[in-house]
Structure 1
Amino acid sequence: MAKLEELKSHLRKGSIYKRDELQKWSKSIDRHLSELTGEGTLKKVGPGLYHFPKKNAFGFEPPADELLIRKFLDDSSFLLTSFNSFNALGLGTTQMYNKQIVYNHLRSGDIRLGNKLFSFRKRSAFPDKPTKEFLVVDLINNLESLAEDQPKVLEKALKKATSMDQRSLEYAGEKYGTPRTRRLLATL
């Protein structure tokens, strides 16, 4: 019991821990994690990830998405976005999507972290923050995944692209576009 209390003394509310991090304070980490999750001190939020939630007036706060992804990847180089971002382009897209996209250099696949589903996509390049030009390129890259009238959305996206800063659009297309997207943008 003293070892469990010692492990608890190293935990900070609101923090996310990897199993390996906690192992340095426990020789029986699996048993201790089982006890801590059983009593509600820690919540398992992903493969080998545990959250020590803060409590507020409404209950326990879930971990911030960025913090959760940073800890899961052990890397701060990623872009968290969603197909919902395309709605801001004014192209007539109105669907709401519950999956978030994580462009990163390390992992691919759909992974549930906390109570959310994240689609990790391994890419060689992505911006720090999405620009309108990046969003147009990303929309065209992901056109087949949209629950919209795809030919109409593509037509509107290409029309929108003609009114954008062509140098920035060309850069975004070359850096982030698929070969198909680059060919479509080259026709403008």
Structure 2
Amino acid sequence: MELLPTTIVAGPSLLTRASALDQVVGKLRAGKVYRREDLAYVSNAVDRHLREMVSGGALKRLAQGLYYAPKKSVYGTLPPDDQELLATFLRDKDFLVFSLSSYNTLGLGTSQLYNKTLVYNHKRHGIFSFGNRQFDCRVKPRFPKTLTPEFLLVDMVNNLDELAEDRNLVLQMVVRKLPGFDQAKLKRAVSNYGSAATRKSFARWQDG
């Protein structure tokens, strides 16, 4: 008896799984950072779907429970935007991102470049790695929304021990260049953002 060729038909469960995954992938937006719970709203098997999407390249895992939908450019895959990444991680949009290298803009003779990225915020403290990036998150009661020369000057004095430059030479330059800053803004910055030691130093310099 001649045997007829057998046709394998995908069962309903296999089709349903593929369809459910496609629905989740369809919700992704390139360049966006997601928490696990963000995708749990649109997935009926979020952990399995996350594994499959990472395996298939639809998502990149940044850290435990944190994922990035890759955005492409002519140069390849772009890293997640710092603001997008940190807003998702912190569950807050009130934070300030900068580097110790920002102090170099003050014209005080500092020139070192630093890989450390500082994140002043109200929620998380510690060093966190996302992909190949590290962020030094520091809880602060107050910080400005944008960087200003006066804030950077006060913050540099706060963080003087972290600088690679000679501490005494930097302080000499601070005293010498102090009159060139907006004195009203500087006074507010010292009051709002200076540590106790920094406030004492500025009081001594400005009274002298």
Q: For this structure pair, what is the TM-score category when the shorter chain's length is used for normalisation?
A: over 0.9
- Unmatched segments (≥5 aa) in structure 2: 1-17
Residues 1:137 and 2:151 are matched in the alignment: no
Residues 1:97 and 2:133 are matched in the alignment: no
Q: Which has the larger displacement, 152-161 or 4-13?
A: 152-161
What does residue 43 of structure 1 align with? Answer: 60
What does residue 83 of structure 1 align with? Answer: 100
Task: Letter of the 1:98 partner, please give it.
Answer: N
Separation of aligned partners in 1, 2:74 and 2:185: 45
- TM-score normalised over the length of structure 1: 0.96
- Please tell me whether the aligned partners of residues 15 and 52 of structure 1 are also in contact (alpha carbons under 8 angstroms): yes
Separation of aligned partners in 1, 2:144 and 2:131: 25
Residues 1:18 and 2:35 are matched in the alignment: yes
Q: How many residues align?
A: 188
Task: Letter of the 1:48 partner, please give it.
Answer: G
- TM-score normalised over the length of structure 2: 0.87
One of 36, 39, 62 as aligned partner of 2:79: 62
Equivalent position SS for 2:41: helix
What does residue 180 of structure 1 align with? Answer: 197
Q: How many Å apart are 1:27 and its aligned residue?
A: 2.6
Residues 1:125 and 2:157 are matched in the alignment: no
What does residue 165 of structure 1 align with? Answer: 182
Separation of aligned partners in 2, 1:47 and 1:184: 43
What does residue 155 of structure 1 align with? Answer: 172
- Please tell me whether the aligned partners of residues 99 and 116 of structure 1 are also in contact (alpha carbons under 8 angstroms): no
Separation of aligned partners in 1, 2:190 and 2:112: 24
Equivalent position SS for 2:85: helix
Separation of aligned partners in 1, 2:64 and 2:107: 38
Separation of aligned partners in 1, 2:192 and 2:52: 48
Task: Letter of the 1:43 partner, please give it.
Answer: K
Separation of aligned partners in 2, 1:110 and 1:45: 14
- Unmatched segments (≥5 aa) in structure 1: none
